Structure 1
Amino acid sequence: MTVHIAAKWHTVSEVAAMLGYGLSKTKMLIASEQIRSVKDGRHRRVLPGWVDEYIQRRIDEAA
């Protein structure tokens, strides 16, 4: 039996891959707080809902 565990949060590189952005652009979006994140030790983590919020804002801006 295979157990699938869904990620509760994403790394910056995972967010970059999801959005189709480069790592530098994603880091800039996080540093400028356009994408929310939390510091976990030395790393930044992004909740899935925060990625959705960013995408929704981009859609709203385009409308």
Structure 2
Amino acid sequence: MTETTIKPRWHTTAEVAGMLGFGLSKTKMLVITGEIRSVKVGAHRRILPEWVDEYVARVTEECAA
């Protein structure tokens, strides 16, 4: 029998906060203001990994300018 591992496709706001080294409040504010894209699934916000990458790329470009 072959085992299949399902990789998470979505991140929670708390997971993104941990990835970025930010507090949960700051991360929620970035989501609310649209600086980090998200979708609402039921009562929860979910964030694609690419959207976290987009945010990091945008912030580092702004710092380099």
TM-score (norm 2): 0.91
Correspondence for 2:54: 53
Matched, 1:62 2:63: yes
Give unmatched runs, 5+ long, in structure 2.
none
State the AA in 1 paired with 2:29.
Answer: M
Give unmatched runs, 5+ long, in structure 1.
none
- Supply the RMSD in Å over aligned alpha carbons: 1.1
Question: What SS does the aligned partner of 2:62 have?
Answer: helix
State the AA in 2 paired with 1:19.
Answer: L
Question: What SS does the aligned partner of 2:46 have?
Answer: strand
Correspondence for 2:23: 22
Correspondence for 2:36: 35
**Quick one: percent identity of the two aligned structures?**
59
Question: What SS does the aligned partner of 1:39 have?
Answer: strand
Equivalenced residues, count: 63
- Is the radius of gyration larger for structure 1 or structure 2? 2
